[in-house]
Each structure stands twice: as structure tokens, then as C-alpha cells.
Structure 1
Amino acid sequence: FEQNRFERENDGYRDASIETVRITALWMPIAEVIMGVGTALVLLAGGYGVIRGELSLGTLVAFTVYIGMLFRPIRQTGMMLNSTMQALAAAERIFEVLDARPEVQDRPGAIALKKPTGGIEFENVTFSYDRRNDVVSDFSARIDPGEMVALVGPSGAGKSTLVHLLTRFYEPQEGRVLIDGTDIRDVKLASLRSTIGIAMQNVFVFDSTIRENIAYGNPDASASAIERAARTVQLHDFIAGLPSGYDTPVGERGVALSGGQRQRLALARVVLRDPAILLLDEPTSSLDADTERAMERALDVARRGRTTIVIAHRLWTVHHADRIIVVDGGRIVETAVSSDRESAHDTLVRSGGLYARLYELQFSSETTSADDAGGV
């Protein structure tokens, strides 16, 4: 499919380029002929006038110069034709984007969430990207305000899709998603997304100062609020030790920061917005052990008082989750709740199901990697 699409695009580009070259090749000789004929007519008529004494030689020379000046823009038009065609093609694509209407829009009469507490409920949710193969199938779960829930499962199980449905990037074909008992389709998009903070695995840091990068989550935030957010994610001490403090430039894509510092900076953006719901897409997956522990401490502080959903690929990062939901094929296959006697993680490992197999697989892989590193 992609190869055929690529070939179609290439064929279209080739045909357009050939047409542009053809028009340019025709235009330049035509322009030269027009200029030659025009100059010849001026010289013929002017020479005849000079001979009859009706026109001075100076006037003829002036007219000859004028005709050259007149035809110079005509010659340059042919040179500009290629750039004009490219600009028109680019403008067409730009207007396609500007004229596109988003599939997900506010319903008439949509409301704003007032003082959301973060209660979430999925009711028999089914979703398919192609409307043939279900990515999420009859999924139901209730998450209480302030609860930390980990979504665990193999790749393609539907974990990220559930997060996209919660943020209303997509609409479910069946069922509904509720926040504080309100169907999110009845909530204004701006209100819904201001209620949710997302910290993704891949962090983008702008070539600006630390202060401006944190304030990207809330441009109107005060200096004290920015510092408070940095303290929450345990980044303030590092920033305070820099020569320029919060006004330190971080470089292109944050090259002046380590991976863990970039992750915590992104988390500070989310904390600065003070959302009721926090979504974390494995923010510690690419970090070393020491940095991961620092990031986990920052997450423990950041999630206090907030409903938190963690998409977990590394299962040892969810030991302290209040509840673990194991998803496979878009359905819940296992779930466990932490108690005073046993964590949800320990319960699922002891049960010997999919979670236990995934954990054993990862544990064996890490042990093998550690042994190989020790041997080297």
C-alpha cells in the first residue's frame, strides 16, 4: 500500500515537473520573439520617421531603450514561472490543512467541567480505527478520584488507545467515557483537556530557557508557581545550582539536560497546569536506574491528590499502584487492587496469569543483560 502510494505521489510530482518545464521551454522562445518583433517594429517605424524628419534620432534611441526596459519583465516572467508553480502547489496543501474540519468537535450545548475531582468510568467501550478490527472491545472500568491505576499489557493491547479515548482524540463506536459522571462528549473540549495532564515517553524541549520551557504548560504562570512546580518534580535544586538559574538556556531539544532532567521538566509543565487527571505514558522507560529512581520520587509527589493513569511497559515501575489492570486484545484479562496485606503487583505475580508471564519475561531479560554487562 505504502509503495503504491509513494509511486503515485512520485508520478504526480514527475508529471507536474514535466509540465512546468514544458511551459517554461515554450515561454522563453515566445518572449524572445515578441521582444525581437517589438524592437524591429520600433526601429522600422522610428527609422522611417527620422528619414522623413518627423522624429529626431534621440527620440528613436530613447524609444529603443524603453522597449528593452518594457520587455525585460516579460523575459523574467518565464524565469519566475517555476517558482510560481511550486508556490501554488504548496498553497494548495496549506489551504487543505486550513480548511480541514476536525472529526471531534464540541456538541451543541456542551458544558464545562466545574471543579473536577478526577473520577473516570469506561462503560462498555468499543473502538476500531478501521471500523473492522476492534482495538478496544467492550471495555469497562471505574477509577476513583485520587487513585493510581496502571494499564499493563503487551504491545498493541489497546493501552494507548484507551488514553486517546479519554482525552477525546477519538470517539468510541460503542459505549461511553465519563468524568465525574458526565459523558465527555457533552463536555467542551477545552474544558476536558484542561482537566487532563499528559506526560509522554518522548519529551520535546524547546531551544529556550528552563523557565520558558516549564511555563509552556501555563504561559501566564508566576515565577513562584514555576518554582513550585519544579520543586514538586525535584528539579529545583539542580536549577538553583546553575549560574543563570531558571533563565539558563537548554539548547536545541534540551541538549544541555540529561534524559531524566528533560523528563522531569516535561512533568513540571503538567504539574504547573494543576490537572485533576494525570496520564503517564511510561515516562521512565529510557532512563538508567539512578535517574529512574529520582523520576519515580518526582512522580510520587506529582500524583498526590490527582487521579493517575500509568501506561506501564516496565512492570517494576507499578509496584505502588493502587490498582493494576492487565489488557490484552482490547479487553481486561486480569485486575488486582492493592491492600494493606498485599500489593496489586504481588497479587498478580502470585496468580500466574499474563501479568506474571510478562514480569518473568522482563525479569529474565534484565538478569541476562546484567550478567552480560558483568562479563564484559
Structure 2
Amino acid sequence: MHATVPRDGGAGPHSLSLSVATDTLPGTTATRYHVPATAPVVVRYTLVNSSEAGILNLHVNDPDVPSAAISCAGGTALLPPLATRQCTATVPAADGSRVRTVHATGTLAWFGTQASASASTGYVGYQAALTVHELVAGASTDPGKPDTLAVGAPVQISYQITNTGDVPLGGLTLHSTLDGAGCTDVSAGTELPPGGQLVCTLAPSAANGLHVDNVVASAAPQITVLGGDGGLAAAPSVESSAQGAYLGLSQSNVAAHGVRSGGASGDGTSHGSGSRGGGGGSHGAGSGSSGSSGGHGGNSGATSSNSNANANSNAANSNPAQPQSGLALNGGGPGAPSAHSGAGFPMLLKRARHSLPWLMMIFLVVFVPVVVRLARANRSSDR
């Protein structure tokens, strides 16, 4: 059975024909590829009047495109007989499959009957995203307040990489400033499906001092991207970064401060593809989260081992290897109360000494004028 095609010069409901192209590709060809979400998509509508009667009041109805965004060269009031008209629209791409049917209508002059046509088109929008979460020594704490580990003890480092986008990721790489040996579970051949997750665990020996790890994970979407001019290209890569830390203490400091079982971890910030041919659009911001697993045990052990609080305070203050208060050991921080009770009275005297000038200034400003007024009042009464 053959479809009936209207001959030139005939007038009827099928006198109008429509074809649609997305980014220059006809029909639904564009659905073979991907378009980054929010990137501009160019839709072209071609209308043909195959009759000898003009078609009045043209209207194109695209479910994905607002009517106001469709512009027709020559207007829509009249499509002359046997003429062709081009209409275009540029809209931001939406995520997911956008296959749809477009309709065009008009009224045949002389006859007053409606002419109509329809055509299918579409594309596939995508969002690529990657997040990395780092966990050092098994605890989840603020990287600015790292927990302590004894020098030489194993440091449990875990990198958790997650595909948070809607396309598969490949070519996975991971770069860490703390992990000198490399994460063997992460390689260029590793592929993560949407929602997929990979965890790599290492256990290097703790070194003395504060050690901050900056880790960056990157991957490439395993898709082909369609450009606005119909060109094809590989999808730009996405990446995510995170931070973790630990503080290694020598054996001489372990007894004074205790050793926590945890370290510090941070969540990743994801940087996704935001436009064709370039990365850096989708961002997922992360931060370190707080936790103190094992930390209370370290505090209580350090407290119970100090039978003489004043002696231990003096010993800790005289130790040149002791970290400064800015490192916030055992949950403390700048201005936090000391774990040794002997340090309370000297600190109180120091604060009082700093406050004395302010107290004298307040006295001079507030009380001296009052005394002067009282003296003047007494003189007036004596007279």
C-alpha cells in the first residue's frame, strides 16, 4: 500500500507539509547523540505549501519550544502557493530524552478549510557529574581539626568515587598528594555507570607532623556530543576534589595528648560539563563533616593517666615538640579550656591584665563627669 502524496496545484487538508531538524540533523537523527543540559539547541522547521491556494495564519506547535521562541522568515500571515518557509527556534537543552511530535496548521485561502502537517524530532540531554569523598584513619572530622596518630602506625585512607550524573564515565584517574603509592583500584580502564561507586583503600605509615591530602578524581563521559552546527565531538571530562588530614605525633607526645583512632575527611566538589567543547559547568560543593569516633577514648585515657594535673601541664608546656594550640588537638581549639586544671589561674590573670586599661577608660568616661557635677552642685548650695 502506497501513501498518497498530493500533487502540486491540488488543494486539500494535506496541502501543507512539515519537516523538522535538530542541530541540522533531520527528524530523530539527533537522538543518536547527546547534548549537554542547558546548552543551546537549534530547531529548524520547514513548511511547504504544495497547492495553488495560499495558506493563511500559519502556526507551529512544538511541545518543547514556546511559541514566542519560534521565528518565521516572511511571517506567518500567508504562505503563498507552491512556496516554502523556514522557521527557527533556539532553546536551552533539557535533561533526558526529548523526542516529540511537532504540528503545523493553517487555513487554505478561497476554501476556508484547514491544512495540517506533523513531523517527529528530538535529542538526548545529559548531565555528567563525579564526586570524590576522602576518609583518613576511619573517622569523619573537620580537616581543620585533624585527629592524632602515633608515628609509624598505619593510616587508613579510603577514596570513595561516585558517578552522580546520568551517563557512564570512563578514563577514571585519581591524583593524591598523600598517597605516594597510587590507588591500584583506579585506572584508565575503569568505567562507572550512572550511580556507580568505587572505593579504594590504602594503609601507609603515619609520619610526624601535620599531613594534608588534596585529592582530585577525573573521568570522561562515554558519549558523543552533538554541537549546535551539527558537528560531533567527545564529551568534556568532569572532575571532583576533596581534602583529608591527619596529625602524626612522636611517642613522647602520645602520652601527653592521647591518640585518636580517627583522622579527617572531606567531601568532594564536583565540576561537570556545562557547554559543548568545554568543562566546568555543574558544580557540587562539598565540605568536611564532623565526627569523633574513638576521640573520647583518647581524651579519657589522657586524663586518667595524669595523676598530677599541674605536673603534667608543666611537662606538656616544656616539650618543644608539642603542637601549637591552633592545631586543635582532642577537639580543642584556639581559646578552648585547657585539659590541665593548673593552667586556669594564670590564664585568668593574663585576661585581667589585658582588661585593666579598658576598665580605667570606662571609669574616666562615666564616673569622673558625675563627680564633677556633684561638686558643682555642692558649691551652688553653699552660696
- Normalised by the length of structure 2, the TM-score is 0.21
Q: Which has the larger radius of gyration?
A: 2
Q: TM-score, normalised by structure 1?
A: 0.21
| Structure with the bigger percentage of strand | 2
